[in-house]
Structure 1
Amino acid sequence: MLFQVGGQGTRPTFFEMAAAQQLPASLRTALTYSLGVLALRRPFLHKILDYEDEFFGLLMMVLETHSLRTTEASFSESLYGLRRRAVEFGPCKEVVKPDSDQIRLSNLRKRQRVLSVAFLVAFPYFKSKLHSLYNKEREARLQASLWGSDNTGMDETENFLDQSRGAFSVGREISIMTHIKKKLVSIVVACYPWIHATNEGLSFSYQLLYLLDATGFYNQGLHVLGIHVCRATGQELMDSSSRISKIRSREREMLRGPPWLKATQRILLNGMYTTLDYAQTGLIAAVFFFKMMEWWYQSAEERMSSPTVYPPPPPPPPPKVAKNGIPLPLDRTTCPLCNEKWVNPSVITVSGFVFCYTCAFKYISQYKHCPVTRIPASVDQVRRLFHDL
C-alpha cells in the first residue's frame, strides 16, 4: 500500500488510476454544461443535448481510437503518462500479482485495441442507456401507483379499430409489438439492479485488491483483456511523437487520385491531425472552465442564499413621565412607590420602569395603569427581574 501511495517504479498508484477512470465523467459533465450555456443563445444546440449519450459516445470513440493507436493508452491514461501493456504469463498462469517474474509485458495487439475501445466506449454507453430506462420506468410505475392508470381511452380506441377489417390487423401488429416492448422493459427493470450491484461490487473488489498490491488489474475489464497499465518511461514518451509522425506520413503516402483530390485529402488530413493534437488541451481546458464556473456560481448562490446580517436597531427612547404621574427617585435602585430599596424587583412591560413586585402588583390591581407614565396596564404585564442571580 505504501508503494501505491509513494508512486515509485512503473506501476501506477491507486490515485492515478482512479483519476484516469473518473476523468471521462468529469469531461462529459463539463461538455454538457458548456452546451447547455450555449444553447441559451443558440436553440439548435438543444438537439445535441437530446442525444447526449450518442454525441459523447461518438466523441469518445474518436478520441479513444486515436489515443490507443498512437500512444497505446486510453485518452485519460495518456494524460497521466500511462501506457497499456499486454500481459504474457509464464508457465504458471495463476500468478496475477504485479512485478512477478512469471509476467512479461508487450505491446498491445490489434484485437486488444478494438476490445479496449468497446470497454471504454460501448459499455459505458449501454450502461447509461439502461440506467436512464430504469429510472424512467421506475418513475412511471411510481406515478401509476400514486395516481392510478386510466385505460378507458385505450379500450375505446381498440374497440373502434376492431370495427374495420383492415385496421384490425394493423392494431393487432401494434399491440403485439407494444406487448413485446413492455416485456423487454420489465425484464430490464427487474435485472438492472442486480447487474448494477454485481458490476459495482466487482469494481470495488478489484480496486481494493489493487490498492493492497494483490493484483495488477485495476478493474474487471482490464482483467478480461489481459492488460496491465504501466507508467510510460521517458524513452516511450519520446518515441510516441516519432510513432505518430510515421503513421501520418504512411497515411499521406496512401493517398490516391488526381492531384487536386490528393491536395484536398491532404488538407482534410492536416485539419483532422490538428484537431486531434489539440483535443486533449481543449477538453482539459473545458473541464477546468467547468470547475471554475461551478465554483463561481456555487459561491454566488451561497452569497445570495445566506441571510443578511443587519446591525441591531437602536433602543427606543425612554417613555416620558406623565404630568400627574409619580416622579422618579434619584437613585435608580429605589422603588418610586415606596421609596425603598427594591424587593423582588419587577418591571411593568408597557413602560419599562422597575418597582417592587408587591408595590407594582397592588397599584396596578387598583388603578389599572403605570404609576409613572399613566399608560394602561394589567397585572399580567408585571414581570419579575432576576438581575441578581
Structure 2
Amino acid sequence: MAEGANFAPNLANNPSIFEVSASEVLDNLIYPAFSKIFDYIGLRLNIHVNGTTFSEDLSPAVTFALQYFYLRQRGGSFGESFYGLQRTTTLNEDQISNRKKFLSATLLTLLPYLERKLRQRSTQHEASQWEEYLIKAFHAYNAAKAVNTFLYIAKYSVCHSPILRFLGLKLRYPSKEHREDRASFMILKFLEMMAFFLQFIQWWYSNKQRHKIGGLQNPDAIRKSKLDELHIPKTGICPICLMKISNPTACAVSGYVFCWKCIANQIKHKKKCPVTGYPISIEDLVRIYEN
C-alpha cells in the first residue's frame, strides 16, 4: 500500500505526452533550421587536409552548443526547457551529472544529424550497404520508441524514450524555480524567443517547397516549326545521353524522364532541367519503378 502511495506522486509529476511530444518536435527543428540559415548565408567550415578541402555544415556544432548550454543551465534540452520540463535520474529524481548532460547533448545532436544524412544518401541512391543497415537500425529504434511511448501513455513507464531509458533518466516538472544570473537569464530568454523564429524558418522552407511547382510559369507552347530544332528525343530515350533510359527518374518540375545518373550529374553541375531550363534540386527527382 505504501509502495502504491509513493508511486502515485511520481506519476502525477510526469508531464503529459503532448508536452513531451511538443518538446521533441521543437528539438528536432533546431538542426534543419540552422542548416537552412547557414546555407542561405553561405557559412560552412572548410577543412584542408593533404591538399583536399572538406566542406562541412556548422549546424551540428551550433546545435550541440545550444543543447549543452540548456542542459547545464536548466537541466533539460532546448525544447524541454521551453515547455517547463527537466531531466532527472529515474530512481531518485536527482539532478543529472555533468557526464549525462554531455551524453544527452551529444545524442540530441548526433542521432537526428545521422538519420538526416543517411536518408539523403539513400534518396540519392548513394548509400552503401552498411549505411543501409544503419537506416534499418533507425527504423528499429523508431519502432521501439513508439512502443515506449505507448507504455508511457498507459502509465507503465516513467520515461517515453529508449534513449532516456538507456541513460537512466526521465522527464518531470521542476520542483523549484531556476534562478540564473542576469546575463544567463537574458541569453536564455533570447534563445527561447528564437524558438518561434526556428518554427517560422521550417514552415517557410516547407511552404516554399510545396509551392515551388505551382509558382512556376507555364512555358509557351512549342510551335511545330521549331520541333526539329529542339531535337526532342523519342519516348524511352534519355534527353541527356540520347540512349535508352536506365533507372528512369522523373523531374517533378518539368515532367521529363531521364537516366538517374544523367540527371543527378546535371543537377550537381548546373542545377536546372536540361530541357526546360527550370531550376531543380535533388528533392525534385522521383524514381520510377516499372514493375
Q: Does 1:225 align with 2:167?
A: yes
**What is the DSSP-based 3-state SS (H/G/I as helix, E as strand, rest coil) of the residue aligned with 1:105?**
coil
From the superposition, tell whether residues 274 and 214 of structure 1 become closer, same or farther in structure 2 (CA, over 3 Å): same
Partners of 1:203 and 1:287 lie apart in 2 by 24
Q: Does 1:281 align with 2:286?
A: no
AA matched with 1:287: Q
Partners of 2:118 and 2:212 lie apart in 1 by 36
Among residues 99, 104, 108, which one is paired with 1:116 in the alignment?
A: 104
From the superposition, tell whether residues 191 and 290 of structure 1 become closer, same or farther in structure 2 (CA, over 3 Å): closer
From the superposition, tell whether residues 33 and 189 of structure 1 become closer, same or farther in structure 2 (CA, over 3 Å): closer
Q: Does 1:57 align with 2:60?
A: yes
Partners of 2:208 and 2:112 lie apart in 1 by 30
* Identity between Structure 1 and Structure 2 (%): 17
From the superposition, tell whether residues 287 and 194 of structure 1 become closer, same or farther in structure 2 (CA, over 3 Å): closer
Partners of 1:130 and 1:30 lie apart in 2 by 18
**What is the DSSP-based 3-state SS (H/G/I as helix, E as strand, rest coil) of the residue aligned with 1:278?**
helix
Shift of 1:28: 3.1
Matched with 1:213 is: 155
From the superposition, tell whether residues 215 and 296 of structure 1 become closer, same or farther in structure 2 (CA, over 3 Å): same
Shift of 1:298: 5.7
Q: Does 1:16 align with 2:4?
A: no
Using structure 1 for the length normalisation, give the TM-score: 0.44
From the superposition, tell whether residues 194 and 288 of structure 1 become closer, same or farther in structure 2 (CA, over 3 Å): closer
Partners of 1:212 and 1:9 lie apart in 2 by 13
Residues 115-148 of structure 1, C-alpha deviations (whole Å, 9 max, x = no match): 2122212333333344444444xx258xxxxxxx
From the superposition, tell whether residues 295 and 190 of structure 1 become closer, same or farther in structure 2 (CA, over 3 Å): closer
Matched with 1:29 is: 32
Matched with 1:365 is: none
From the superposition, tell whether residues 291 and 126 of structure 1 become closer, same or farther in structure 2 (CA, over 3 Å): closer
Residues 281-328 of structure 1, C-alpha deviations (whole Å, 9 max, x = no match): 2243232354367558867976889xxxxxxxxxxxxxxxxxxxxxxx
- Segments of 5+ residues of structure 2 without an aligned counterpart are 1-10, 47-54, 218-291
Matched with 1:79 is: 82
Q: Which moved more, 1:27-36 or 1:287-296?
A: 287-296
AA matched with 2:164: L
Paired residues of 1:27 and 1:284 also in contact (CA < 8 A): no
From the superposition, tell whether residues 62 and 276 of structure 1 become closer, same or farther in structure 2 (CA, over 3 Å): farther
Paired residues of 2:60 and 2:113 also in contact (CA < 8 A): yes
Residues 164-197 of structure 1, C-alpha deviations (whole Å, 9 max, x = no match): xxxxxxxxxxxxxxxxxxxxx43x1452243122
Q: Quick check: which one's helix share is greater?
A: 1
**What is the DSSP-based 3-state SS (H/G/I as helix, E as strand, rest coil) of the residue aligned with 1:73?**
coil
Matched with 1:203 is: 145
Partners of 1:17 and 1:79 lie apart in 2 by 11
Partners of 1:74 and 1:85 lie apart in 2 by 12
Paired residues of 1:30 and 1:286 also in contact (CA < 8 A): yes
CA RMSD, aligned part only? 3.5
**What is the DSSP-based 3-state SS (H/G/I as helix, E as strand, rest coil) of the residue aligned with 1:26?**
helix
Greater C-alpha radius of gyration: 1
From the superposition, tell whether residues 195 and 81 of structure 1 become closer, same or farther in structure 2 (CA, over 3 Å): same
Using structure 2 for the length normalisation, give the TM-score: 0.57
- Segments of 5+ residues of structure 1 without an aligned counterpart are 1-7, 89-103, 142-184, 249-269, 306-389
Matched with 1:70 is: 73
Partners of 2:44 and 2:99 lie apart in 1 by 37
Question: How many residues get paired?
Answer: 200
The equivalences for 1:93-112 within 5 A come to 104-112=92-100
